[in-house]
Chain A
Amino acid sequence: MMHLKETELCLGLPGGGCEADTALKVTGKRGYSQTVDLMLNLQTNDQSSSTDLNDNKLQNSTKNNKDPIKPPAKAQVVGWPPVRNYRKNVMAQKSNNEETEKVVAATAGGGSVAAFVKVSMDGAPYLRKVDLKLYESYQQLSDALAKMFSSFTMGDYGSQGMIDFMNESKLMDLLNSSEYVPSYEDKDGDWMLVGDVPWQMFVESCKRLRIMKGSDAIGLAPRAMAKCKNRC
């Protein structure tokens, strides 16, 4: 049975529940930068470095006393580091190919070597890496991803830890929603929904992870089901 918790994207600080509404009021726009802020440990107001500039050249100037009106949270990490779009796209592809080599080397060398894969989440400007060998089930992976991406959870995977692909209507409901689903790129270069194969098989074939909107993942389902049918 497939149970995927409400994965409504909450763009507030972790542990604080859904604060997207609050963020909206302040900025009028999504405030995901607040979340990313925390992950990067950006401190806008704490860098009170020593400035022994007693010669105050500016008349009537008071040192900026960390104004209560903060600048809008938006755009704090947009455009940083200053690398142009086409370069980002190119390198993302390149790193992907590199990752393949790493994972292949790892699994070829023996079971104890790490299996790092990149995890991206649509909308977040930073990627993370996870070592799949650290986990023993989809549930554990889900918990780790939840910690990494704050409010994202994958919910329960049932006793075998697999999405019930046979329940087509439930699957389609999920994929039609704006909730987030995890997908992965396998050895063949295909993008699949996470949870369709037994855990060990997943660890060995997963090259990278991408947490994407359900509606974007809609194209994956038929492929996933076909592959599953071929394997089962």
Chain B
Amino acid sequence: MFPEEVLEHVFSFLNSHTDRNTASLVCKSWYEMERWCRKRVFIGNCYAVNPRVVIRRFPEVKSVELKGKPHFADFNLVPEGWGGYVYPWIVEIARAYPWLEEIRLKRMVVTDECLEIVAKSFRNFRVLVLESCEGFSTDGLAAVAANCRNLRVLDLRECEVEELSGHWLSHFPDSFTSLESLNMACLGSEVSFSALERLVARSPNLKTLRLNRTVPIEKLSTLLQRAPQLVDFGTGAYSAEIRQDVYSRLADAFSRSKNLKSLSGFWDVTPAYLPAIYSVCSQLTSLNLSYAATRSPDLTKIVSQCYNLQRLVVLDYIEDTGLNTVSMSCKDLRELVVFPSDPFVGEVDVLLTEQGLVSVSQGCSKLQSVLYFCHQMSNSALISISKNRPNLTCFRLCIIEPRVPDYVTHEPLDVGFGSIVENCKQLTRLSMSGLLTDRVFEYIGTHAKNLDMLSIAFAGDSDLGLHHVLSGCDSLRKLEIRDCPFGDKALLANASKLEKMRSLWMSSCLVSFGACKLLGQKMPGLNVEVIDERENVNSLPEYVPVEKVYIYRTVSGQRFDTPDFVRIMGKDKDDLFSDKGLKVAVLFCSNFGTFRPCCCTRSRSL
């Protein structure tokens, strides 16, 4: 038996959550030791566990990371009001962890009240990262700015913020100098430029600055000059009338930014201003031009100089020719993301095809992660990609039209994706599209043993497809499915698998109310949430398919903050969707074990 001090020292080297979880299962004393010295807690599903349980087990936490809504919420598949409220967590951790330093939230509803509590409760608060969150306004940000004296990171990634004013930024006091990272790219309102400039000037440790669209291009050089130590810079709107003086100042400022490794922003690009960044291209490891609606020649000129690029996010305007240049110039590329410029228009006038991806897979030997939107694909292209890049870990392909076959042979793309899972043995994330039959799922079940997350849409023929995946993918934790003919049989036959996964989402499939109820009854360790907004839902017979079902494992039982269109199946006697009305969140008062109902603070009223 090791003395405690030795164990604690050893554990301090365990940083990954999975390692720590595994260590805690070795024996009772390791469990005890580990829980006292765990500093960072990660909860992948906020409804999987109760905050009090977390606090009881880990009393010395400095960093909390939580995720709320399922991934498909990003694409409007989760109706407003579903849940993911962080308020109950904030209340509990504010009480339990006065020395908390970091909060990271993803896809959660965060209110101004939550931000105010955060601002006032943690004296040494340092890091606030809100990714794809909603429910708060610039007032909440003002509270954080005014009160978090030791704040280092304020990172708002793709949040939906109610913009009351840009004045929040001015709430950072003059004595506040600890800022290291500020990402306000998702905000729409204009902040006082002089306040911003002064903030940047008094923040010697500022490494990341991502501006929002309202900061004009003429002002960029001022900021760059104030912060020559910047590593990660996001511009505002990158457009103006072409003026030589503005251009020269900007080009000069960029050339002096010797530490710059990451660039983003570039809304509303005026192409003539793009060469201003040429001097830093060779330094860049990350470049996001996905708002730069400018044509291939301009984009190609830039990427051809980015010899050290590891991450490229770009629009399909880059076209196959641009990607060919990437394949020749960006030999260190690890991640490629190509977004569609016009996702909803039928006609295609951009020359980006599967060829672009094939070239990059050929030329960039370190390529690991791909997110690619295009209009056509072939099995042979997929096979080439898989043979070129067996080291792929994340492959997400979105062919924009659903159920489109191999454009050359008109066959399904089963064999192509099959080749991907067979050759890319380290694949942990896969999203598929195009015409796919049950066969591709057989390949996946057989080969994709390291697959952690799978996204399926408009694919498959029968329950067999789902069964292959659930029974074959040993490492699968997150499965999200939409518009596939998968139903009750596969789901019920693999019920025990669901407890080994974080979650399963199925919408517009063939899973019936009856099956959901049965699953919820038989599996107390799962919440089976049926999300159905039909007006006549309570009168539908049990064999009718549900609109959406979200199944996740949990140790905290059913939740009580559901809206009227969510029903947690197999738990109540009546099993009915409740009437419309304000739902109450029930919080346990930790000292007395009594119910203390309190209204869930909502982003929008019912």
Q: Nearest chain B CB to A103's CB is how many angstroms away? A: 14
CB pair A80–B457 under 8 Å, yes or no, is yes
Residues of B within 8 A of A67 (CB): 485, 487, 510
In the complex, A95 has a CB within 8 A of chain B: yes
Query: Measured between alpha carbons, how far is A50 from B405 in the docked complex, in Å?
Result: 13
Q: Nearest chain A CB to B78's CB is how many angstroms away? A: 9
The 8 A CB mask of A77-104 against B (1 = contact, 0 = none) is 0111111111110110011011000000
Q: Which residue of B lies closest to A50 (CB)?
A: B437
Residues of B within 8 A of A66 (CB): 485
Residues of B within 8 A of A111 (CB): none
CB pair A57–B464 under 8 Å, yes or no, is yes
Query: Measured between alpha carbons, how far is A40 from B404 in the docked complex, in Å?
Result: 11
CB pair A85–B347 under 8 Å, yes or no, is no
Residues of B within 8 A of A42 (CB): 402-403, 458
In the complex, B87 has a CB within 8 A of chain A: no
Query: Measured between alpha carbons, how far is A82 from B485 in the docked complex, in Å?
Result: 20
In the complex, A118 has a CB within 8 A of chain B: yes
Using known A-B contacts A71-B509, A75-B507, determine if residue A58 contacts B293 with beta carbons closer than 8 Å.
no
Q: Nearest chain B CB to A98's CB is how many angstroms away? A: 7
Residue total for A at the interface (Cβ-Cβ under 8 A): 52
Q: Nearest chain A CB to B174's CB is how many angstroms away? A: 33
In the complex, A72 has a CB within 8 A of chain B: yes
Residue total for B at the interface (Cβ-Cβ under 8 A): 65
CB pair B339–A87 under 8 Å, yes or no, is yes
Q: Which residue of B lies closest to A84 (CB)?
A: B74
CB pair B457–A90 under 8 Å, yes or no, is no
CB pair B464–A58 under 8 Å, yes or no, is yes
Using known A-B contacts A67-B510, A85-B76, determine if residue A129 contacts B347 with beta carbons closer than 8 Å.
yes
CB < 8 Å: which of A60, A72, A84 contacts B547? A72
CB pair A91–B342 under 8 Å, yes or no, is yes
CB pair B403–A47 under 8 Å, yes or no, is yes
In the complex, B543 has a CB within 8 A of chain A: yes
CB < 8 Å: which of A43, A57, A64, A94 contacts B485? A64
Residues of A within 8 A of B342 (CB): 91, 95
In the complex, B400 has a CB within 8 A of chain A: yes
- Interface set, chain B 60-116, CB cutoff 8 A to A: 72, 74-77
Q: What would 17 more interface pairs be, CB under 8 Å, given A58-B493, A78-B75, A95-B293?
A: A40-B401, A44-B483, A47-B435, A49-B461, A51-B461, A56-B464, A57-B464, A58-B464, A58-B490, A61-B489, A69-B544, A71-B508, A75-B483, A79-B75, A83-B75, A90-B291, A91-B343
Using a CB–CB distance below 8 Å, which chain B residues touch chain A? 72, 74-77, 158, 186, 267-268, 290-291, 293, 315, 339-347, 373, 398, 400-403, 412, 431, 435, 437-439, 442, 457-458, 461-464, 467-468, 471, 482-483, 485, 487, 489-490, 493, 507-510, 533-537, 543-545, 547-548
